[in-house]
Structure 1
Amino acid sequence: HLIYGLNRRKQKLEALQRKMKFTCFGGKKLARARTTVYAGQHETWLKAYQSARNRTMMIQGRRQGKFSNNLFQYHIEEGVLIYRCSSEKREIPLKIEFHQYKEELERAVRLPHNTPGKAVAYVLEDHGAYFIIKAIVEMEEKAKSEDTEQGVIGIDINVNHIAVSETDGCGNCVLLKTVKMPLDGKNRKQRKHQIDQTVKEVVLECVRSHKPLVMEDLDFQKTKSKMRYGNRRQNKMLSDFATRKIEEAIVRRCWKEGYGVKKVNPANTSKIGKEKYSKRMGCTVHMAAAYVIARRGMGME
Structure 2
Amino acid sequence: MSKLPVFTYQTRLRLTHEQTSCLDAYAALYGRAQRTLFARMRAGVPLNELKRSFLRRFGLTARQFNAIRVELEGKIASIRERRPELIEEAKWRIRKAEEAVGRLEEKKPGSNVVHQKKRRLAVLRAKLEALLADQESGRVRLCFGSRRLFRKQFALEENGYADHAAWKKDWQSERSSQFFVLGSKDETSGNQSCQAAVAPDGSLRLRLRLPNGLGSTSKHLVLEGVRLAYGQEEILQALSAGRVVTAQTKTGKLFRKREGAAVSYRFVRDRKGWRVFASVEAQPVALVTRRLAGAIGVDINPDHLALAETDRFGNLVGIRRIGLHLYGKSEEQAKARIGDACRQIARACAESGKPLVIERLDLRKRRAELEAVDGVRARSLSSFAYAKTISMLKAASFRAGVEVIEVDPAYTSVIGAVNHARRHGIGSHQGAAYAVARRGLGLSERPSVREAVVPTRNGGHVTFALPARNRAKHVWSFWADVRKGLKAAHAAHARSGGNRLPPAPLSPKSRALGATRALPAKPRHANRRQHCSADVLDDLPWQGNGCLWF
Shorter-chain TM range is 0.7 to 0.9
Residue number among 194, 202, 210 corresponding to 1:72 in the alignment: 194
Residues 1:287 and 2:420 are matched in the alignment: no
Q: Name the structure 2 match of 1:5.
A: none
- 1:178-189 aligned at under 5 Å gives the runs 178-189=321-332
The one-letter code sitting in structure 2 at the alignment partner of 1:45 is: W
- 1:170-209 aligned at under 5 Å gives the runs 170-209=313-352
CA 1:280/1:17 → structure 2, altered by over 3 Å: closer, same or farther?
closer
Q: Name the structure 2 match of 1:26.
A: 145
Contact 1:117 1:137 (C-alpha < 8 Å) held by counterparts = no
Report the CA distance between 1:145 and its aligned residue: 5.8
Report the CA distance between 1:147 and its aligned residue: 3.2
Residue number among 127, 132, 136 corresponding to 2:279 in the alignment: 136
Contact 1:179 1:202 (C-alpha < 8 Å) held by counterparts = no
Report the CA distance between 1:272 and its aligned residue: 3.1
Deviations 1:201-223 (A, max 9, x none): 12221121121111223224235
Distance 2:130 2:389 in 1: 37
- 1:1-301 aligned at under 5 Å gives the runs 13=132, 16-18=135-137, 20-37=139-156, 41-78=163-200, 79-84=203-208, 86=210, 87-89=216-218, 91-112=221-242, 115-144=258-287, 147-222=290-365, 224-225=367-368, 227-300=370-443, 301=445
Report the CA distance between 1:144 and its aligned residue: 4.5
Deviations 1:164-215 (A, max 9, x none): 1111122222221111111112233322222222222122211211211112
Taking only the aligned residue pairs, the percentage that are identical comes to 28
CA 1:266/1:71 → structure 2, altered by over 3 Å: closer, same or farther?
closer
CA 1:85/1:234 → structure 2, altered by over 3 Å: closer, same or farther?
closer
The one-letter code sitting in structure 2 at the alignment partner of 1:209 is: S
- Secondary structure of 1:31's counterpart equals helix
Distance 1:226 1:119 in 2: 42
Distance 2:130 2:239 in 1: 53
Report the CA distance between 1:11 and its aligned residue: 10
Distance 2:133 2:424 in 1: 58
Contact 2:350 2:400 (C-alpha < 8 Å) held by counterparts = yes
Distance 1:232 1:103 in 2: 46
TM, length-normalised to structure 1? 0.84
Distance 2:134 2:351 in 1: 54
Distance 2:260 2:282 in 1: 8
CA 1:36/1:142 → structure 2, altered by over 3 Å: closer, same or farther?
same
Distance 1:54 1:15 in 2: 27
Report the CA distance between 1:96 and its aligned residue: 1.3
Report the CA distance between 1:293 and its aligned residue: 1.7
Structure 1's unaligned 5+ residue stretches are 1-8
Number of equivalent positions: 293
Contact 1:206 1:212 (C-alpha < 8 Å) held by counterparts = yes
Answer with 136-145 or 244-253: which moved more. 136-145
Contact 2:199 2:205 (C-alpha < 8 Å) held by counterparts = no
Deviations 1:245-292 (A, max 9, x none): 222222222223222222223333333333333334332222222122
Answer with 153-162 or 182-191: which moved more. 182-191
Distance 2:169 2:130 in 1: 39
Q: Which has the larger radius of gyration?
A: 2
Report the CA distance between 1:67 and its aligned residue: 2.5
TM, length-normalised to structure 2? 0.48
Report the CA distance between 1:10 and its aligned residue: 9.3
Answer with 148-157 or 98-107: which moved more. 98-107
- Secondary structure of 1:149's counterpart equals helix
Distance 1:40 1:19 in 2: 39
Report the CA distance between 1:47 and its aligned residue: 1.6
Answer with 201-210 or 119-128: which moved more. 119-128
Distance 1:166 1:228 in 2: 35
The one-letter code sitting in structure 2 at the alignment partner of 1:121 is: S
- Secondary structure of 1:123's counterpart equals strand
Richer in helix (by share): 2
